[in-house]
Amino acid sequence: QVQVVESGGGLVHAGGSLRLSCAASGSIFSIGLMGWYRQTPGKQRDMVASITSGGTTNYADSVKGRFTISRDNAKNTVYLQMNSLKPEDTAVYYCNAVTIHYGRRYDYWGQGTQVTVSS
């Protein structure tokens, strides 16, 4: 079992920056991929950025060049630095941790943190 807890959301003006953090605990040795997703009311949860245990990153097109995901394996923490924020970035942001056990994928989610960008 893995637990993930997000922090760092809040209200910011357009053009501003926020940094989200996600701390993992539990069976952390089994965590491979970690990432950030976001969701707005009535819409599906979409991937924002992901990072492997080796540091390979992937970003949604809408955030490329503005957001940076990083990972500190020693602290079992993943970060999302969000710059040049836009009102359309407003959403609940969820941290995700993935483990693979006997070939089966298990996804673990945090409780979410609200990011609101005012125009």
First to last CA, the chain: 40
- Determine the pLDDT at residue 8: 95
Tell me: the pLDDT tens digits for 13-24?
A: 999 999 999 999
Residues 6+ apart with CB under 8 A from 15: 84, 85
Distance CA(5)–CA(23), nearest Å, equals 5
Task: Read off the pLDDT of residues 52-79 as tens digits, 9 standing for 90 and up.
Answer: 989 999 999 999 999 999 999 888 899 9
Q: What band does 29 get if pLDDT is binned at 50, 70 and 90?
A: confident
DSSP H or E segment with residue 57:
strand 57-59
| pLDDT for the residue numbered 27 | 77
State mean pLDDT over 35-51: 97
Whether the CB-CB separation of 107 and 50 falls below 8 Å is answered with no
Q: How confident is the model at residue 101 (pLDDT cuts 50, 70, 90)?
A: confident
Nearest residue to 89 (alpha-carbon basis) of 64, 57, 56: 64
Q: How far is residue 5 CA from its own chain's centroid?
A: 11
